[in-house]
Amino acid sequence: GETRENLTYEVFGTAVRELAQAVADDGFEPDVVLSIARGGVFVAGGLAYALDCKNIHLVNVEFYTGVGTTLEMPVMLAPVPNAIDFTEKKVLIADDVADTGKTLKLVRDFCIDQVADVRSAVIYEKPHSLVKCEYVWKKTDQWINFPWSVLPPVHRSGGAPRENREAL
């Protein structure tokens, strides 16, 4: 569709606190927050602080190559977390959005055999997601602009490179 869901850093701050509150109200006390990089890193950091959980792990998953364009399947990139890190632990998987849900399913399936309890928390969930997350801040069927990825990467803003400056 034409319209976008625009998340600002300010609203994100509120969203992640409300998401954490939903986890706490549910009585879930994760031993580890597992973030799906890169978008899930922001969510995982906010959740871990709000839930007073000092254990954050990270998994890299590559799926989207552009707006609405994906690889055939998401793939976990090296280094894959050690299974031992999750054995019999309560794991909260954190991501920015469950869209197709394939990314979350991949990570859930990776965890599910070895952990006591694995649940997922996302800021957004799309209606067609094949994984229904336990904790969702907002449901939408629109493409979401996240504050961390809406702008292009920064570039050196002019002037000579630092290493040449002295010589000039």
| Direct distance between the N- and C-terminal alpha carbons of the chain, in angstroms, rounded to an integer | 52
By CB under 6 A, name the binding residues for ligand 5GP.
36, 39, 63-64, 74, 95-104, 143-144, 146, 149
Nearest distance from residue 97's CB to ligand 5GP, in Å? Answer: 5
How far is residue 123 from each of residues 40, 45, 69, 99, 113, measured CA to CA in Å?
A: 9, 13, 21, 11, 25
The helix or strand, by DSSP H or E, that contains position 151, with its residue range, turns out to be none
Nearest distance from residue 159's CB to ligand 5GP, in Å? Answer: 32
* CB closer to ligand 5GP out of 28 and 63: 63
* CB closer to ligand 5GP out of 10 and 72: 72
* CB closer to ligand 5GP out of 9 and 116: 9
Nearest distance from residue 26's CB to ligand 5GP, in Å? Answer: 22
Residue 101, phi-psi category: left (phi > 0), alpha (psi -120 to 50), beta (remainder): left
